[in-house]
Chains A and B, each alone.
Chain A
C-alpha cells in the first residue's frame, strides 16, 4: 500500500463539505432556492455533515499513514503453518 486512502478521501469530502457550507451560508434565507428541499437549507446542513465526515477521515488517515511509515512493511502471505 502506497498511501492511506483515507487521506485523499477525507480531503475530498472536507472540500466538498466546505464548498456546500459556504454556498449554504451565502444563500441562507433564499426561499426560492430551498423551496425544493422543504424550506430546509440542505446545502448548509449536509455541508456540515460532510465537513465533519471528511475531517474525521482525514485525521484517521494521518494516524494510519504515520503508523504505515514507522512500521516495517507487513509480510505478505507467507505460509504461516505451524510455529
Chain B
C-alpha cells in the first residue's frame, strides 16, 4: 500500500501552483487570436524544441515506453531510432521552411493553401476528433493508474469521501489544472509548461533509474539479470534481419523491410512531420531559422529520453521477484516472527512487473503457453514506488502526472486552433472580428476538454471503444505523410489527387487490417474481420505493414489522379513547394549553428548510440 506524507503532497502542490501561475502571468499578453492560438509566433527555438517533445509526451511515453521496454526489451529503442530521429531531422531541414514560410496558421490550413478546401476540411475534422479522443484515452489510462497505485486513497480516507470517486477525482483534477493554464495562457502557456514538465520528468525519473541501476549492479548487472529472464531483450538489432527464420521473431518479430519502411516512413514520419500537435510548437517560433532548429533541438532531447522511459521497464523485469517471506529469530528467549506479505499478482509476476489477475477468481491469468499474463503497464510505476522514499516519491508521481498533462495540453491547443481557424472561421462564421475569434478560441479549449472527459467516461462502459478509436485513427493517419511528401516536393500534385489519395490510403489500411491477423489473436478488433489471408508474428509487425500499404496506396492514387486533373499554376505554389521556393538565406551565425550542421551531428550521435547498444 502506498503511503504518502506531507512532503509528497507539498511537491504536487508546488507543481500545480507554478503551472497555473505561469498561465495567469501570461494572460495580459493574450490580446489577439494570434497571441492565444499561435503564441504570437515569437518564441525562442529552445523553448519550442523542448515543447515539441513535451507535446508528444503522455501516458503513451511515460508508461507505455516502460511497458514496451519490459515486454520487447531494447528493440523498443528502435521506435526512437528509426521512427523518430530521421523524421525529425527531415521535418526540420526540408518541411519547416514551407510550413513556417507559408504563414499557414495550422497544418490543415497549409493543405488549403497547397491543395484545396475539401482536403483541408477532411484533415481538420480528423485532427479535431483525434485530439479530443486521444486526450480522453490518456486521461482514462492515468485515472486507472492512480487507482491501481492507490495514490489518492489516503486523501479520500482523510476527507471521508467514498473511494468510488477516485477515478472522477483523477480525471477532473488533471483536466482542471490543464484548463487553468491553457485558458488564460493559450499556446504560450501550454508550451512554457511543457518545458517545465519535461525537466520535471527528468527530475522525477532520473533518481529512480540511478537507484535501480545501483541495486541491480550497474549496466553489467542489468545485462546479467535481464539475460536470465530472456536474453533476446538485450539486443537492439540482433535478430531483426532474421525474423523470417525465427517464427516468433526476435520478440517483436518484424523483418528488416517492415521495420525500415514502416517505422521510418509511414508511422514515424506521419506523426513527427504532419501531426499538428507537435508541428504547432515549431510554428510558434519567432522566425524561420528558429522554426527549422526546433525539431532538431527536440531530436537531441529525444535521443536521451530512452534512458528515462525504456530503461525503467528493463530494470523492472530484471530485478528479483518479491516473495512472501517469514523470518524467525529468537530474542531473549522469545520467538519473533516477521512476515512480509507480497500480494499474489506481484508474486506471480516477473521482477517488479506484476501478473494480471482474473477479477472473478483472483488467480493470475495465464497465456495459452501457461506463462503468467503480465501487466506491463505497471513496470515504470512499480519501479517508482519501489525505489523512491517519501518526499522524492511525491516528485516522481508529480512527474508522471505532469507528463500526462503535457500531452493533454498539446491536444487542447491543437483542437482550439483547428476548430477556430479551420472549422469555425472557414465554414461556420466568416469575417468576424479578431476579438470574436479570440473568444471562440478560448471557449473551444473548454469544449475540447469537456468532450475528452466524456470520452474517458465512455471508456469505462465500453472497453473496446478505445482500441477501436485508436485503430480508426491509425487508418486515417497512416497515409498522411504521402500527401505532404507529394504536396511539398512535387509541384504537379493536385487537390483532387490529394483528396482521393487520402481516402484510398485509409481504405487500403482498413482492407489490410481486415485481411491479416497477428498470431495468437482472434479475428475481430485485432484484424482479420473480413477474412484471414496472412498471419503476422506480432501486432506491431501487423501495424507496420498496415502503414506501408496505406502509404503506398495514397502515393499511387495521388500521383494517378494528379496526372488526370489540372495542376495549380506555378506562381500560386511559391513558398508551398520545395523546388519553387527560394532557398532560405544563410544565417549570420557560425557554420556550426546552422540547422544542417546540427542535423549531421545528431545523425552521427544516433548511429553511435545504436552501435553501442547493438
Contact = CB atoms under 8 A, between A and B. Distances in A.
A42 B211 CA distance: 9
A71 interface: no
Interface string B279-301: 00000001110000000000000
A25 to B, nearest CB: 11
Contacts of B207: 42, 46
B352 to A, nearest CB: 12
A80 B389 CA distance: 55
Contact of A37 (B15, B28, B211): B211
Contact of B286 (A3, A5, A76): A76
A38 B211 contact: yes
Contact of A74 (B28, B211, B286, B288): B286
28 contacts: A1-B43, A1-B44, A2-B25, A2-B26, A5-B22, A5-B192, A8-B196, A9-B195, A13-B199, A15-B14, A16-B395, A19-B7, A19-B11, A19-B391, A36-B386, A36-B389, A37-B387, A38-B211, A43-B7, A43-B389, A46-B207, A46-B392, A53-B203, A76-B286, A76-B287, A77-B286, A77-B288, A81-B582
A80 B192 CA distance: 28
A81 B391 contact: no
B389 A37 contact: yes
B391 A43 contact: yes
A21 to B, nearest CB: 10
A76 B41 contact: yes
A8 B18 CA distance: 7
B603 interface: no
A76 B11 CA distance: 38
B215 interface: yes
B203 to A, nearest CB: 6
A28 to B, nearest CB: 12
A38 B287 CA distance: 49
A42 B42 contact: no
A10 to B, nearest CB: 10
A81 B289 CA distance: 13
Contacts of A3: 25
Contact of B47 (A5, A12, A37, A50): A5
Interface string A16-50: 10011001100100000110111010110010001
B384 to A, nearest CB: 11
Interface in B1-52: 7, 10-11, 14-15, 18, 21-22, 25-26, 28-29, 41-44, 47
B14 A24 contact: no
A80 B14 contact: no
B388 interface: yes
Contacts of B474: none
Given A1-B43, A5-B47, A20-B7, 16 more contacts: A2-B28, A2-B29, A5-B192, A9-B199, A11-B18, A12-B14, A12-B18, A13-B199, A13-B203, A16-B203, A37-B387, A37-B392, A38-B215, A43-B7, A53-B203, A76-B42
Interface residues of B, number: 40
B360 interface: no
Contacts of A27: 391
Interface string B181-204: 000000010001001100100010
A33 B387 CA distance: 11
Interface of A: 1-3, 5, 8-9, 11-13, 15-16, 19-20, 23-24, 27, 33-34, 36-38, 40, 42-43, 46, 50, 53, 74, 76-77, 80-81
A76 B203 CA distance: 34
A12 B29 contact: no
Interface of B: 7, 10-11, 14-15, 18, 21-22, 25-26, 28-29, 41-44, 47, 188, 192, 195-196, 199, 203, 207, 211, 214-215, 286-288, 386-392, 395, 582, 585
A8 B195 CA distance: 11
A22 to B, nearest CB: 9
A16 B14 contact: yes
A13 B11 CA distance: 10
Contacts of B25: 2-3, 8
B14 A42 contact: no
Contacts of B21: 8
Nearest to B395: A16
A77 to B, nearest CB: 5
Contacts of B22: 5, 8
Given A37-B387, A80-B585, A19 B211 contact: no
B311 to A, nearest CB: 17
Nearest to B11: A16
B14 A1 contact: no
B292 to A, nearest CB: 13
B392 to A, nearest CB: 5
Given A1-B42, A76-B287, A42 B196 contact: no
Nearest to B26: A2
A71 B486 CA distance: 43
A77 B215 CA distance: 52
Contacts of A33: 389-390
B389 A19 contact: no
Contacts of B286: 74, 76-77
- Ranked nearest first, the 8 interchain pairs of A and B with the lowest CB-CB distance are A43-B391, A12-B18, A77-B287, A23-B391, A2-B29, A23-B7, A46-B207, A37-B389
Nearest to B8: A23
In this complex, the member of A42, A53, A80 whose beta carbon has the largest number of chain B beta carbons within 10 angstroms is A42
In this complex, the member of A19, A34, A37 whose beta carbon has the largest number of chain B beta carbons within 10 angstroms is A37
A23 B392 CA distance: 10
A78 B44 CA distance: 16
A12 to B, nearest CB: 4
Given A2-B25, A19-B14, A81-B585, A40 B211 contact: yes
A19 B7 CA distance: 8
Contacts of A16: 11, 14, 203, 395
